[in-house]
Chains A and B, each alone.
Chain A
């Protein structure tokens, strides 16, 4: 059997794994980014308690390897009587991860908005909330888009960690198939191709956006 016919045979099972990976990545982005936005605002809050809390969440989320957080959720929390299904634990860990990373990108985006925009807004007499939500945020988020797309790709690749707690995602599917026939080389090459099939076009789109932004900056 050539590799290609083997791949064709494995593909249906791989696709279900890929589906799970995409689901986890999707959840971590859809839930993580809004949370990241909240954190990005909180880290510059005037209230010290809010600021400290946000900073702790962000720094742990960025500082600790995702796998550590994943294990804490899956193996650690049951000690306190909180048990999650493996896929839920994976989603929660990656949500934390994506919220932490995206919040830093959004914060940088917000800070990149020129001082002149703030001055014009105050000279016009706009209220702070209008200045923030209508003037600063749209511009800050715009410049954050390429970075956020980058984090999304990172999240998708990060779903492979869920293998470690037996979530039936792409890596787990590949491992299962491989352990039946010991065709590890072929199957992990196929897994790599599956990740690349998503990540590479996503990267191209990101680069396209980056260039577009640079042109319209």
Chain B
């Protein structure tokens, strides 16, 4: 069985997501200026760009951790207009379709690895404890951390914590996964463990949107590369093509800075 077959329990249909005209301001300060992005089912989108470009904010707008001021989000048959009132049904649908992995893992430190993964399943999906634990074990095994099941996150390395966090998100059967700089808090070597899990997930056809500075990963794994700068998407398309022949001067400058490190 592949990771995403376990992840989506072969039930959740592959889903894309359409974001249109997303705008976000904090007071006078514009963070997202009319950003639109359509993600096809089963594809991997890598979001790169200089810091302050709005990548993370955009990603966080997708599952409404940040509330955009205007724009529309279409996902799994729901159309959400975050600038207006969002009803709980739409919000719940969005959150259950979209899983998220954070830079700082954000595991629950007072629960074992297993409980971290099982507890949301019980509360959000109403699974029994046995059902939830069985699924948690499957996922821990897939991310190579079965032996950590009863350990608290504090006893796990950063790479292990991030893999547990991925398992926690997958346990809720999302059809789309968001990754917010999942390896930025990790040693390069440890980051590889996490990237390996993500590669496998991508190979299994999970729809993924990844904010990252890992150019190798973006080039190898993503189907679409999206470059953000100054609150906008300035370029998007085939990762190989953009990296070898960027059309925008801003992209060139950014890529040179990143690749020449």
Q: Which A residues lie at the B interface, using CB under 8 A? A: 114, 116-117, 119-120, 122-127, 130, 134-135, 138-139, 142, 216
Contact = CB atoms under 8 A, between A and B. Distances in A.
Given A124-B172, A134-B119, A116 B109 contact: no
Contacts of A119: 65, 102, 106
Contacts of A130: 123
B108 A135 contact: yes
B102 A142 contact: no
A114 B95 CA distance: 21
18 contacts: A116-B106, A120-B107, A122-B65, A122-B95, A123-B65, A123-B99, A123-B100, A124-B95, A124-B120, A124-B169, A125-B95, A125-B96, A126-B123, A130-B123, A138-B110, A139-B109, A142-B110, A216-B154
A139 B110 contact: yes
A119 B165 CA distance: 13
A125 B171 CA distance: 12
Interface in B51-97: 63, 65, 92, 95-96
Give 10 closest A-B pairs by Cβ, nearest first.
A125-B95, A120-B106, A116-B106, A123-B100, A124-B120, A130-B123, A125-B124, A138-B110, A116-B104, A125-B96
Contact of A123 (B63, B92, B104, B109): B63
B24 interface: no
Contacts of B110: 138-139, 142
B163 interface: no
Contacts of A120: 100, 102, 106-108
Given A119-B65, A123-B63, A123-B102, 20 more contacts: A116-B106, A119-B102, A119-B106, A120-B102, A122-B65, A123-B95, A123-B98, A123-B169, A124-B168, A124-B169, A125-B120, A125-B124, A126-B123, A127-B123, A130-B123, A134-B123, A135-B108, A138-B110, A139-B108, A142-B110
